[in-house]
Chains A and B, each alone.
Chain A
Amino acid sequence: MTEPDRELIRVRGLNSFYGRKQVLRDLSFSVEANRIFVIMGMSGCGKSTLLKHLVGLKPSPPGSIYIEGKDISGWNHAQWNNYWLRIGILFQNGALFNSMTVAQNIALPLMVHTNLPKEIIEIMVEMKLHMVGLSGTGALMPSQLSGGMRKRAGLARALSMDPEILFVDEPSSGLDPITAAGLDELLLSLKETFGMTLVVVTHELESAFRIGDQMVVMDQGRIIAYGTPEEIRQMNDPRVQQFLSRRPDEEHRDYDSYISRLCKVKRR
């Protein structure tokens, strides 16, 4: 268990590019231990890219990301491996290995990184499946699971090594409200029961405000709000209020002029 209020991740002035296109602009925030940190924003605002930087799938410029006070930009292979053994990641679509059963997927990190006997690993796999509400599905192939089940199986795999930090990419996208609420409960219990630190990327407002201790709201690669859920709610920034009230942009709302423009083009 990690001690609360300890700064685990510090991001300072992070910029990121895909080719010449800048996708993240001067991001700065901190993630404390034993908290759920939520990254919110509209689709395409750079949330998943930020997550890739935090987990080391995209290289970061020197001095922009610190894990427990250490700059990750100069890490060698062994340091990355040590970090990856301490974290778990739930990818947006689960990223389960199609050629393995659900149980084999969850057992893989345990078989590679531990010397535990096969029987113990089987028990641990069943425990993780039970934890995410998928008991008895270990023998199924990922293709036999629904989208929600695949996501939960991905979560079980992310939890297999009992990570200190769990990164979750869009946990409730594509799920029905009841399953999404169940997943939120599970994430909260991971924090409360196991003292885990969670970094959750989402655009589901209800879910974000339910589970988040601290959050950032992003827009076009920038952080436009940073604070506790209450602080975010009370911000007067029009873009934050637009996001929180789920109002579409003016240009997207002007359906009549859009249709009349289309008709003119057709007549021509």
Chain B
Amino acid sequence: MKRLTDTFGFVGRWILGIFVGLGRIGIFFLSTLRGIAYPPSKTGLVIKQIYFIGHKSMFVIIFTGAFSGMVLGLQGYYALSKFGSEGFLGSGVILSLVRELGPVFTALMVVGRACSAMCAEIGIMRIDEQIDALRCMAIDPHGYLVLPRLMAALIAFPLLTHVFDVVGVWGGYAVGVKLLGVNPGAYWDGVYRSLEWQDIWMGIVKSLVFAVLTITISTYKGYYAGVDRGSRGAEDVSEATTSAVVTSSVTVLVADYIITSIML
């Protein structure tokens, strides 16, 4: 009997913990939005963050975009050639990239490169009392630290996603057309004919949702690094950063499924 109650207790605490976490992150997000109304002006901070999230992620996005397109070209060619439909390679590459791989891979790359760094930076500010210092200077830490990152991500994520898509299409072209001999006219015709505004719109919606989710989760984890345990150590920052990357990545994949099922 005791074992049974212990099990129920454990499951109950786990479920309650999830709801408490969701509630806290929701309040954190709303507090961030409230920061729009308070000084300082966010323009300079947003530009700095666009540079950090967008420009500094460009290389990794181009690199992964190119190889994703090349793999799609390779896999698509061997699958389609079984049915003698190599001419549809362009359609397969562009739809896979614009609808799914572009937004998801871009978000995952930015999580690994920028969100982890954001979480660590804010976490260090937490354990070094810099966030307390901001508050005591009557500067809203949510508005100063989180909001500019969120606004920058809303600009940078869709742009990076489009860069990923364009580079990916050329990667698919390089492998499919140049390496495996697919007709270039058929490839580009497939790209132009199959791509519709709805597909592009779906990619944009996904990238915007991923921007909000990943930035909110990463900054939240850094902002509360060690707070629950009442400690202020390097271990708290490393734990928060790991948790931020894992939670953001899993959330991107779950959100991707939900958005796809709604928009298709």
Contacts and interface: CB of A to CB of B under 8 A. Distances in A.
Contact of B139 (A19, A87, A91, A109): A109
Contact of A91 (B40, B124, B133, B230): B133
B129 A112 contact: no
A128 B39 CA distance: 23
Nearest to A58: B132
B38 to A, nearest CB: 8
A97 B130 contact: yes
Interface string A85-99: 101010111011111
Interface in A86-132: 87, 89, 91-93, 95-99, 108-109, 111-113
A250 to B, nearest CB: 30
A81 interface: yes
A57 B139 contact: no
A84 B40 contact: no
Contacts of A84: 135-138
A18 interface: yes
A149 interface: no
Contacts of A97: 125, 130, 133
Point out which of B124, B130, B132, B137 has the most chain A C-beta atoms below 10 A from its C-beta.
Answer: B137
B132 A113 contact: no
B128 interface: yes
A112 B40 CA distance: 5
A55 B133 CA distance: 11
Contacts of A96: 130
A202 B104 CA distance: 53
A57 B40 contact: no
Contact of B39 (A89, A93, A113, A161): A113
A18 B136 contact: no
Contacts of A161: 137
A95 B130 contact: yes
Interface in A27-84: 55-57, 80-81, 84
Interface residues of A, number: 26
A57 B39 contact: no
Contacts of A93: 128-129
Contacts of A109: 137-139
Nearest to A18: B230
Interface in A130-187: 157, 161
B230 to A, nearest CB: 6
Interface string B205-244: 0000000000000000000000000100000000000000
B40 A87 contact: no
Nearest to A111: B40
Contacts of B138: 80-81, 84-85, 109, 112-113
A267 to B, nearest CB: 35
Given A19-B230, A98-B124, A112-B39, A87 B136 contact: yes
Given A89-B133, A96-B130, 10 more contacts: A84-B136, A98-B124, A98-B130, A108-B137, A109-B138, A111-B40, A112-B139, A113-B39, A113-B138, A157-B133
18 contacts: A18-B230, A19-B230, A56-B136, A57-B136, A80-B138, A81-B138, A84-B135, A84-B137, A92-B129, A95-B128, A95-B129, A95-B132, A97-B125, A111-B40, A112-B137, A112-B138, A113-B39, A157-B133
Nearest 7 CB-CB pairings of A with B: A84-B138, A95-B133, A95-B129, A112-B40, A81-B138, A109-B137, A91-B129
